[in-house]
Chain A
């Protein structure tokens, strides 16, 4: 499976992001950002399925929530940043 990780500024932003996505029916799992993408250390991400990215970004924009960065998690566990 391929997933997207929406990297958030803080735990609270990540929680709000997940709550907003869940409200429109997108399964969103809150997780600590893997070290390789955390950048400044100790960050939080919201993990969503590949097919939901477009709806997720539109929904978040409507709520004034701008993701810090978005990463694609490949089936082999590697990460690639996605341009927004």
Chain B
């Protein structure tokens, strides 16, 4: 199979990830739940993972929270900052992981809109909407549909200047673009472990710029056990219950791979594949390809074919052994903003493990579908 769906989950992982998961199943218990060797090994593994996350993303180890996925982290962040009926400013490229919690809170949502790949227009849009009384600004670093890299550094500066808390959804950028909690001065950054960090599914990270986050889950933490309420310190406050140590051990190896390989090398590799795919797809009759200028797009690319439904294209490619994702990608707002809501798109997304020959196979298959369409 040619796997081009890494924006959902990276399937090819460094071999150390699976080995670490297998080792963890039989060797690790839970951090903070005992003094025996299995608990001590688990504690060391968890700490190494937090410390490495801290090193990669400019955050003290104790402010690194293990979550189930990015959605989990975004829910904690949003529900910590936005009260029921509160005001939130979001970009027009957000995922349902942001919009659904806000709708659930009955929040007043102001959407900063801008044409695809127009970073300046996006910043101007945020400048108009971020006003006093805003409870939080929430912005994806990179659109999961189009790979559009939003100007989060500038939006973070705007939020600092206007004193508004800032949440970054780094689902598509972690492991690809530089990102630092400290440098951004962000309130929270949420990211999955199973995409660009090459960890297993069921892992995610929330980086906390403040300690008073509201837990979604309450229960045992292995600390301050005599207290009836959750501890007031991190990470314990946000980590009730037994940790996913199999996931954490795998994630640690994924993070080590990212560190060894280097963000720049990964980013340039994916950008090269994206540019090649965009250039070749553009030559296919009836193809509309959504690509941006250098620096405005990561390894995620959407396209559609005139006269063929996106879902049909995705299915036909799957039959030819090519894995892509078609439809709305859990981001209807992004499709509305880009004008593709009625049709959806076909999305291809790359990882460090893809090759140019896979791009060639994809584009040849798409060209074949286009020619058969007549």
Contact = CB atoms under 8 A, between A and B. Distances in A.
B261 interface: no
B226 interface: yes
A75 to B, nearest CB: 22
Interface residues of A, number: 17
Contacts of B194: none
Contacts of B224: 40-43
A14 B223 CA distance: 12
Given A10-B235, A10-B236, A41-B227, A16 B60 contact: yes
Contacts of A31: 35
A11 B51 contact: no
A11 B43 contact: yes
A31 B32 CA distance: 10
Contacts, number: 60
A13 interface: yes
A12 B226 contact: no
A34 B235 CA distance: 22
B371 interface: no
Given A19-B51, A31-B35, A32-B35, A12 B225 contact: no
B31 interface: yes
Interface in A52-68: none
Interface in B17-52: 31-32, 35, 43-44, 46-47, 50-51
A42 B223 contact: yes
Contacts of A10: 32, 62, 223, 231, 233-236
A11 B227 contact: no
A15 interface: yes
Interface in A2-17: 9-13, 15-16
A40 B46 CA distance: 23
B83 interface: no
Contact of A15 (B43, B222, B223): B43
Given A12-B62, A42-B225, 11 more contacts: A9-B223, A10-B235, A11-B43, A12-B46, A12-B50, A15-B44, A16-B51, A16-B62, A41-B227, A42-B226, A43-B223
Interface of B: 31-32, 35, 43-44, 46-47, 50-51, 60-62, 222-227, 231, 233-236
14 contacts: A10-B32, A10-B233, A10-B234, A10-B236, A11-B43, A12-B46, A12-B234, A12-B236, A19-B51, A40-B226, A41-B225, A42-B222, A42-B223, A43-B223
